[in-house]
Every structure is written in C-alpha cells, then in structure tokens.
Structure 1
C-alpha cells in the first residue's frame, strides 16, 4: 500500500508557526507518511513588509526553505493540514489566499473525502488561538474535507495544545514552542496520518 500523502500548508512570519509545522511533519513522517511542507506567500509588497521589523528578512529566508503551496499539492494529498498565526482572532490573509485558490478543485469535487486538520500560534495569551483554529473549520467543511481534531486522544494533550489542533503562545515572539507544544504537533501529524491511512484502506479495492 502506498504511503499516506500529507500536505502541510502554513504561513509563518516569525517562526513559531513554522516550528509547529515542522513538528507536525516529523510526526507524520514517523507514522509513515510522505510529506510536502509548504509556506504560503505574502500578499503585500516589500514596502509594506519593511514596516514590521524582521518581516521581509524572515519571509525571504523561509521562502528559500519552502516552496509555495499549489493547487497540485492539494490534489496530490490524502490529508491537508493548515497552519497559521492569529490575525485579529482569525486566519492570516496569506493562508486564506491559498485556501481561496482551491476553488477549481472544490468545483470539481476533488477535495471531497480528504483529511483536514489545523494548527496555529498567537502572540498573546487569549489572543485568539482557539477561535483561529475554529475559523478554519468553516472553509474546510466547504471544501469537503473530513475534519480531524485532536481531542484528548494522547497524554500530551493534557500538557499543551487544544482539542482543535496544536497551538503556541509566543508572548510577543519572546518564546518559541517548547517540547510540550512540539509533542502535541507531532501527535497531530501521527493522528492525521493514521486517519488518512484508514480512509485510503477503505477506498482501495479488495483483490479477488
């Protein structure tokens, strides 16, 4: 049987969400998945980015490390995991632009039945980490994805994260995700891969 194929499409400005994305990827690979790790691109130009210290430099470095997610990546995948920082309690414009670009696949029904999951980070405590993850559930439902939350299906969930997906609070980018938060993200990768594998097995024809 082929390996489950997992697309992790994320946006990150100051690396917190990037580190969670890498941990989700590590968990998925550990569970036997083939992974594509992709960073959504900015929708504003360098002049705007220079107004936030480090934004342009960080974006340039991350874009060198990761390809941009494409429609072909989403069609390829058995599971799509979205990652985003919080923007006013909701999804970042950059990741939303990628999701909006999947309208052609949606119209053709090519995303129906794929696994979907989410993770994210926020700068401040109570800054919208859970509301952000829940806000992504809505377009995921429209795309026809089978939404896979984390629940409390692993002991790591009692230390960090949320039942909706892995999260992290950076406290104005002073803190990076610690081992507990990264463990939740790795569990998310394993869980998504497990569900994707089960769905693939159910869909594969049985030999006569």
Structure 2
C-alpha cells in the first residue's frame, strides 16, 4: 500500500507553490501518493485587489488545488506544511488550517505520522528558518514525528536549511526558486516519504 503524503501550503505569488510541487515530485519518486492542497485567503477581496497579481494568482491556484481539509490530514501518513514568512512567522491562512485539526488531535489520529515544513521569503534573512522552526511547535503538539533535512543530501550545501526547504524570491533579480532550491525540495519529498513509510508499521501497533 502506498504511503500517503499531504502537502498543505499557502502561496500568494507562486514561490511556495513551486516548492510544493518539487516536494511532491520527490515524494512520488519514492512511490508515495500525494495530495497538494492550498489554504484559502482570509482577507477581503478589496484588500487583495490592492496588491498586483494577488487576486489573479489566488484564482489560478484555487482552480488547481482543493482547500486542505481535516480528512486530508486523517488520510495522510505524512503532513508537509509550506508557508511564506509573515514577519518571521507562519501565514495566517496556513495557521487557520492547522488550528482546525483539533478534532484529529483530540482523537490521537495524528500521533506517529511524519511532519515537515518548508518556507519562503522575499528578503535575505527574512525569516525562513524562524518560520520553519515556529511550525515545529504545532507539529509536536499534534503528535507528529518531525522530519528535518539535516545535511543528509549534497543539495543542502548549496541551498535550503537543515530544518526544511526554503527560497528567497524578491521579484526583481530573483524571480523564482533556483534549481538548487528545488533540488532541496525534491530531497525533502523523498526523505519525508521514506520516513513516513518506515513509521507506518510502528503506528499500527500503537
């Protein structure tokens, strides 16, 4: 039976979306079944209209990806969370999804599943590591086994962080994640899928 990997993310301009798809590619290379889910906006359409491209990108992505649901987390053997930095922390859109998992937490249904995180920012030293690490807290509370990357692959010596894949995209000279960024993301997908597969029999015996 295939290992199920949920990649739940929020992406406004497409950077996190691109990393999410690279992580999905890595997980699928390990034989995993993947669900990509995009968290929805919490702000008004009027506010979105003030930022060039926001409304259009949201509409495009929402047509491609369903919103994450509690059932997706229940289905998953691994949950990978992706978010842009918001003042050095998780976006409210993704946090709202995490906050909605209390029912599964109460039932203990997430215990022993693999959990991992990735992030992006638009400035150097803009909070990728602090954002990823801040999400380790809810992963621990939910009972997931946190899967960092360490330096277990050569790609980590060129990009990313030992905590999770990342990218810096400023929209000027840096328009999208680099190939080095994507290599780390693919490795993250592979690593998470492998560890989730190893954890499955342990979860079955409690």
- Category of TM-score, reference length = shorter chain: over 0.9
Q: TM-score, with normalisation over the residues of structure 2?
A: 0.96
Q: Which residue of structure 2 aligns with residue 73 of structure 1?
A: 72
- TM-score computed with the length of structure 1 as normaliser: 0.95
1:10-29 maps to which residues of 2 (within 5 A)? 10-29=9-28
Q: How does 1:8-87 map to 2 (within 5 A)?
A: 8-87=7-86
Q: Which residue matches 1:103?
A: 102
Structure 1 stretch displaced more, 66-75 or 195-204 = 195-204
Q: Confirm or deny: 8 A CA contact 1:118 1:164 kept in the other structure.
A: yes
The alignment covers a number of residue pairs equal to 204
Tell whether the 8 Å contact from 1:160 to 1:180 is kept in structure 2 after alignment. Answer: yes
Is there any run of 5+ residues in structure 2 with no aligned partner, and where? none
1:1-208 alignment, distance < 5 Å: 2-172=1-171, 174-203=174-203
Structure 1's unaligned 5+ residue stretches are none
1:204 deviation in Å?
Answer: 5.0
Partners in 1 of 2:152 and 2:134 — Cα distance?
22
Once residues 197 and 184 of structure 2 are traced to their aligned partners in structure 1, the CA distance between those partners, rounded to angstroms, is 20
Alpha-carbon contact 1:124-1:172 (below 8 Å) kept: no
Task: Please state how far the C-alpha of 1:52 moved relative to its aligned partner.
Answer: 1.1
Classify 1:66/1:122 alpha carbon distance in 2 versus 1 (closer, same or farther; 3 Å).
Answer: same
After superposition, what is the alpha-carbon deviation per residue over 1:45-91, rounded to whole angstroms, capped at 9, x for unaligned? 21111111111111011000100000000000000000000000000
Measured against aligned partners, the alpha-carbon deviations of 1:148-178 in whole angstroms (never above 9, x if no partner) come to: 0000001111010000000000024642011
Secondary structure in 2 aligned to 1:32? coil
The Cα of 1:203 is off from its aligned counterpart by 4.3
Q: Aligned partners of 2:4, 2:69: CA distance in 1, in Å?
A: 15
RMSD over aligned Cα, in angstroms?
1.1
